[in-house]
Every structure is written in C-alpha cells, then in structure tokens.
Amino acid sequence: MTIRVLPDQLASQIAAGEVVERPASVVKELIENALDAAATTIHVDIRAGGRDLIQVSDNGHGIPASQVETAFLRHATSKIQHASDLDAIQTLGFRGEALAAIASVSRLTVVTRAIGEPSGTRLVLHGGITQSQDQVGAPQGTVMAVENLFYNTPARLKFLKSITAERKTIDEHVTRYVLAYPGVRFRLTHDGRVTLQTNGTDNLLDALLAVYGPETARELLLIEPEEEEERLVRVTGYVGPPSLHWANRGQVTLFVNGRPIKDTQLTYAIIQAYHTLLPTGRYPMAVLFVNLPFEQVDVNVHPTKTEVRFRQGVSAFSAVQRAVRKTLIAGSPVRAVEGWSRPQTDSYPGWQGEHNTWPSQNQNPLDLDWGAPPPIPELTEPSAFSHQPSAVSPEPPTLNTQSSALSPQPSALGGNRLPIMRVVGQVGASYIITEGPDGLFLIDQHAAHERILYEQFLAAWERHNGQSSLPSQGLVTGVAVHLIPAQATVLGDQLDLLARLGFQVEPFGPNTFMVRAIPALLRQVDPAQALQAIVADLEQGDKPLQDKIEARIIRRVCKTAAIKAGQTLSVQEMEALVRQLETCHNPHTCPHGRPTLIHLSVAQLAKEFGRI
C-alpha cells in the first residue's frame, strides 16, 4: 500500500473521536466557545439527549463574516498565536479543534454576527463540507445548531447511550459551567422544557441554589479565602457539611482557573479532609475553585482539556486539603482533642438544663447544626494550624476587663454558644484552662481575644451601618509610619475607609502617614503595627471589592490588637476574656478559622485514666 496523507475531512473525523466522544462533549465545547466570546447569556437547547439537536446560543462577540468559514478549519483559532502562548493559557479553548471536529461528524448550522458588523452570516456544513453561506439579519452573538450527531460515523452512533444517560451527562457538564460562571445567565432546555436556569447575579450561592436547591445550598459551608500571607494557590468555594453525603464522587466539582477539571489527586485531597467524618462508602460534596497563576498550570494535556498538570502539584494538594479541613473545623462546635475518641452519643450530660444553648438550631444559613460534635481527624499537616506564638510586644497590650457595652448580645436564636465556664488557670502564658459542665476546656487566649474583638468590632460597624465613623481614641502624640511608594498609593486610596473604622490617618510628607487616632474599641493596638498590617493586606489584594476590604481590615486589626501568646494574664483578665468569649456568636474559632478552644469531656478523662 502507498503511504498518503489522509484527506482533511477524514483526518477531522479521526481527530473528532478524541474531542467529541458524545453529545455532552459538543455541549461543553460550544459553551466554552461562548464563554471565551465573553457571552453574558448562554442558552443550551437539547433534543433527544443531543442526538437530534444540540443548540448553543450566546450574546458574545460573534465571528466576523470574513472568518466564519475559517473557524471550522482544523487548528484554526483566534486564541493563541505563538508556541509561547501555550505557557499561560487564559481562555477555555486554544486548540482550534472543536468546531472542525464537531462539524465533521454532524450537520451544523451557525448563525453569527460580530460586534460592529451590520449583518450576520449563516453557514451550513454537512460532515464538515460547506453547503451554503449567506448574509442574514441576526442579533449580535452566535447560534450553533448541531443536528444528527455522528450521522456519518455509524460506529460512534452505536456507542451512544440511552437518551436519559446522554441527557444526564449533558446536565452534569452544563451544571459545572453554571457553577463556574455565576455571572452568566444560563438556560438549559431539554425537548423544550427548561431544566436549569440562572440569572447571572455573579453570586455563587445563587448558582448553587439553582443547581442544588435551597435545602442543600443552605447547608453549605463557605471556604473563607486565606489572607494570612500571599499564597500561590488560592482555594475558594463551598463544601458540604459531613451530614450531606453522596453515593459517589460526582458532587465534588473542581475548577482550576475557571476550567472544570477532573483530578484524582485534588479530589482525594478533598475526600481525605473528611476522613472519619462520613460513613464509609459515602462521599462529600464540594464546589471548589483553585486559582493560581496561569503559568503554574499546563492545560494542554488532553484534547478534551479536562485534565491539567500542576507545576507544583504538592502545593495545590495541600492548599485544597488545608482549605477544606479549615472550613470543616470552623463549622464544628468544639474541637475534640486529637486522638481522643468521643462517641457520637456522648452529648454533654447535664447540658439540657438552663445552659442548654447547644447544640443549636441553625442561626445562619451557612452555620450548620452539627448535632453531636463529630470527631475531627488528626491533622496531617499540624503546621497549617499550629499557633505561631508571636513575640511579646514591648508594651504588652492590656485586656479591657470592663465588659464592653458593645459586646454582641446573645441572639434570640441561640447559636453555637459556650457553656458557662469557671477559670482554673493559665498554662504557658498562652492558654487558659476552664471548667465547664462536662469536663475542661483549653482556650487559646490570642485566638479567643481575636474572636472577641472581631465580633465587637463587627457589631459596632453594623450599628453604624458603615456610614458614620466608629468612635476613635486620639493618640497623645501622633505616630508617623513610613511606607514604600506602592504601599503609600494603596493606603492613600483607603484613608476614608480607615476613618470610618476609627483610624485617623493623614498624609505626612512623601510616603509617610501620621496616625492621629485609633478605633476606641482597639485601644490596645499598636498604631504603627496596625497600619503596617493593613497595608500588607491592601497590597496583596487584586482589587477586591470594597466590602471585602473592610472585612479584611477588620480581621487584620483585630488580630494585631489581640493579646499575644506569651502574655501572663491576671485572674480578672482571664475571667473577662472568658465571659466575653461566652457572648460571642461564633466562639469556637478565631476569625481566621483556627480553633479558640478545645474540650476534654469528663468521659474522655475517665477513659484516659482507665476508669471506664
């Protein structure tokens, strides 16, 4: 036989086997093209599980009339130009294969009108061969209608599953994009019926609501982004509480830089974070966004672009595991001492009396009722949570022993409240030991104080509605703080916000600021330290929303203002701290998610001493 280069159409059909496995692959590619075209509305209309029709309509930038035919050629793309572009791919598509592949195995009609062009184009291809091309009137955007998929590749057609099975896979794919792009209005119809619809509010919770319904969405735990330091890998999203479990891994949805991906390692990291919390053979749900610099991931691994390779796989793995675990711990009432087993039924004898405020009813859609506290597994990465004792500041801040008038009042709904505790003493100048109705507690004084200040601050902030300024306390002598120019620029932009929070800061020469007053609530804060910490936070943000900045600054100054580990406290100070912690809405973790206290129950003590 003679060796010859295959005709383009045949080559496309062969290549199509990799890209277009089934109707859902077509849906996926067309949605990705719409998203890459910056569409804000995407309609997906399916007939017979995609066998008869897959139509994706968008209001994106459209394809210029002169390029419509080119778009269907193999390796034709507008998204990359040079080999170096492959190093940092920012679009969902880049291989220039999908349209050629889809067209080669279907009857395809595209109607598109590009931004700025007076009319649209209608192009019809059968098996990749152009049948007709006309000028037509059309709204801006693109409609791709794919009919009779695999009509010319009978082998493929035979491998299609039932209409229901294909439809389900389509739903799964569409769902992922709905979650990944909450700012886009999606509508999915099957045989004329709307089955999924979002309104593009750009709020992930709305998308989760559309997908999972209110019952489940209400239970989900928000992953608070880590703000401690700049991290290469950012993990955001929601995870389900251990009470929500599923028969398979299908509800673990992962996105890397906005791309839905399959990754056994990262999925494992999530599942492992739930270790011992779920019944055997059950799986958690999670919607996790992993974001990292584009050059840190290689997306050119597989024709379907559903796999990625990380340049630093370990940091992605540990970032995911840490984020999920931290969220689960934050959602947990009191963290059990590691390795100390606590039977599920051991629900605090004697707790049912007057202090019966816990376990609670849900007071917040995202604070779940855990019932009996689940045992939290041993951390594989103790360093991720271990408290870093900060150096004792030269002038140790003093604790405000007068119960603050601004302390949040116990909410009518009860909540994750602590029992009344009696102070026993202090260990290592860092931990307070207390006795409660069922055993003893170890309280991390720094984390606890951070939590107290945070809630007091938030309560005051809410009372002022973010409008007028919070009360501040003037400094006898102003404190001058010098910054590098870039920092001065970001700080200069936020002086009004700082003023509203109670910081009076004014420019004082080039790149220098004078702190004249600090929030009255935080009179123990070191003004220069607080300002530096705020700047560090402002600097790392990639233009976060203003309300995020506020929350972040508040958390940051509370951390700076909180008493440090290593500071000896008087009995009165400890008592004041414990009383204030008892009034907190979320006393179990510091605002950054670390536990404030751990509990040793009477039963645990008895067990450890071999009494039972």
Interacting residues toward Mg ion by CB under 5 A: 33, 93, 98
Quote the strand ranges of 550-611, DSSP E.
597-600
CB-neighbour burial class of residue 269 (10 A; exposed 0-12, middle 13-18, buried 19+): buried
Amino acid at 275: H
We find the least distance from the C-beta atom of residue 595 to ligand ADP, in angstroms, to be: 47
Binding site for ligand ADP (CB under 6 A): 29, 33-34, 37, 58, 60-63, 71, 76-79, 93-100, 142
CB nearer to ligand ADP: pick between 257 and 580: 257
CB nearer to Mg ion: pick between 93 and 333: 93
Neighbours of 243 (CB within 10 A): 13
Tokens representing residue 48 in the block: 């017979």
We find the least distance from the C-beta atom of residue 182 to ligand ADP, in angstroms, to be: 20
CB nearer to Mg ion: pick between 76 and 379: 76
Q: Mind giving me the DSSP string for 15-56?
A: HHHHH-SSHHHHHHHHHHHHHHTT-SEEEEEEEGGGTSEEEE
We find the least distance from the C-beta atom of residue 57 to Mg ion, in angstroms, to be: 16
CB nearer to Mg ion: pick between 19 and 211: 19
Instruction: With H, G, I as helix, E, B as strand and everything else as coil, classify residue 307.
Output: coil
Rg (CA), the chain: 29
Sign of CA dihedral 173, 176, 177, 178: positive
We find the least distance from the C-beta atom of residue 44 to ligand ADP, in angstroms, to be: 12
In angstroms, how far is the first alpha carbon of the chain from the final one? 83
We find the least distance from the C-beta atom of residue 57 to ligand ADP, in angstroms, to be: 9
Residues 96, 78: Cα–Cα separation, whole Å? 8
CB nearer to ligand ADP: pick between 89 and 179: 89
Q: Which does 522 bind (CB under 5 to 8 A by kind): ligand ADP, Mg ion, none?
A: none
Q: Which does 77 bind (CB under 5 to 8 A by kind): ligand ADP, Mg ion, none?
A: ligand ADP
Amino acid at 40: T
Cα dist. 435→80, 234, 439, 575, 612 in Å?
Answer: 65, 39, 6, 12, 21
CB nearer to ligand ADP: pick between 97 and 263: 97
Tokens representing residue 121 in the block: 């184009």
We find the least distance from the C-beta atom of residue 179 to ligand ADP, in angstroms, to be: 20
Residues 159, 144: Cα–Cα separation, whole Å? 24
Residue 503 in contact with residue 519, Cβ under 8 Å? yes
CB nearer to ligand ADP: pick between 125 and 319: 125
We find the least distance from the C-beta atom of residue 154 to ligand ADP, in angstroms, to be: 24
Nearest residue to Mg ion, scored by beta-carbon proximity: 93
Q: 297-298 and 234-239 as β-strands: parallel, antiparallel, unpaired?
A: unpaired
Q: Which does 142 bind (CB under 5 to 8 A by kind): ligand ADP, Mg ion, none?
A: ligand ADP
